[in-house]
Structure 1
Amino acid sequence: MMTVLFAASMLFTSCYSYTSVVGEGAQGNEKTTKWNHYVIFGLAPVGVSDSKQMADGAENYTVHTRQSFVNGLVSSLTFGLYAPSTTTVTK
């Protein structure tokens, strides 16, 4: 029973996370965060943030896209019909 609970808790940590470095990467701590909107288990994008626009003309920045706990909770409550993710751009 403990093994099943441990395995289930690992599934709730995060579905995915990836980071992209543009130019030299973030030079400061200024962050901009937006949600990306997908439907049907993330297969069809409805509204996806533009990281270049979020960087506001900066040449060096870092883009971190992930499914946070809140995103996963919302996705599970809608049975995957709405599956958001979060993008953070650090300049």
Structure 2
Amino acid sequence: MMTVLFAVSMLLTSCYSYTSVVGNGAQGNSKTTAWNHYVIYGLAPVGVSNSKQMADGAENYTVHTRQSFVNGLVSAITFGIYTPTTTTVTK
């Protein structure tokens, strides 16, 4: 039983995350954050943020999209019907 619990806990430790660098990447510490809205375990997008618009015309910026703890908690509470992610643009 302890082996199964350990294996399950190891499988659930990481959060969904990816980073994209545009141009030379972020040149400062100015950050803009927005939630992306998906339904049915993330299969159908309902409202997705526009990173280019969030960069507000900057040519060099970094986009980091992840499923944070709060996003995962909301997804768990709704049994995966609503699955949000968070996008942060640093310029």
Q: TM-score, normalised by structure 1?
A: 0.90
* 1:2 Cα offset (Å): 4.0
Alpha-carbon distance in 2 for matches of 1:73, 1:11: 16
Secondary structure at 1:63 match in 2: strand
Do residues 59 (structure 1) and 59 (structure 2) align? yes
Counterpart of 2:11 in structure 1: which amino acid?
A: L
User: Which 5+ residue runs of structure 1 have no aligned equivalent?
Assistant: none
Q: TM-score, normalised by structure 2?
A: 0.90
Equivalent residue for 2:20?
20
User: Which 5+ residue runs of structure 2 have no aligned equivalent?
Assistant: none
Equivalent residue for 2:48?
48
Structure 1 residue ranges (4+ consecutive) displaced by more than 6 angstroms after TM superposition: none
How many residues in Structure 1 have an aligned counterpart in Structure 2? 91
Residue identity over aligned pairs, in percent, reads 87
* 1:81 Cα offset (Å): 0.3
Alpha-carbon distance in 1 for matches of 2:71, 2:36: 10
Alpha-carbon distance in 2 for matches of 1:60, 1:88: 14
